Amino acid sequence: MQILGMGSLLAVIVISPLWCTMVQVGAAWCRLVQLFWSRSRIVAHLLRTQNAATRAQQKGYKSRKEPKMTDVKI
């Protein structure tokens, strides 16, 4: 009975650092995935807005601009 207790104690001593390392690796992996996910969402958003602007230009819509004095007819 005591040998079993000693073995389980030894197993806990051996496994707990491994477990901590696995948890740290998992946390780092989550952070990495989160970083890539947020970056890919930003890139996708930029591409969408750029595509929308390009499409608007192709259709002939002018971007909004301030009226100049030459544009105003008296």
* 21 within some domain: yes
CA–CA dist 49, 62 (Å, integer)? 15
The answer to the question of residue 50 being in a domain is yes
Binning pLDDT at 50, 70 and 90, where does residue 1 land? very low
Q: Is residue 61 part of a domain?
A: no
Q: Model's pTM, two decimal places?
A: 0.39
Residue 29 belongs to a domain? yes
Rounded to the nearest 5°, which phi and psi values hold at 5?
-65, -40
Domain total in the chain: 1
pLDDT average, residue stretch 61-73: 60
The answer to whether position 14 is within a domain reads yes
Return the percentage of the chain with pLDDT > 70, whole number.
69
Residue 1 lies in a domain: no
13-47 pLDDT per residue, tens: 777 777 778 888 888 888 888 888 888 887 888 88
Its domain, for residue 49, covers 7-56
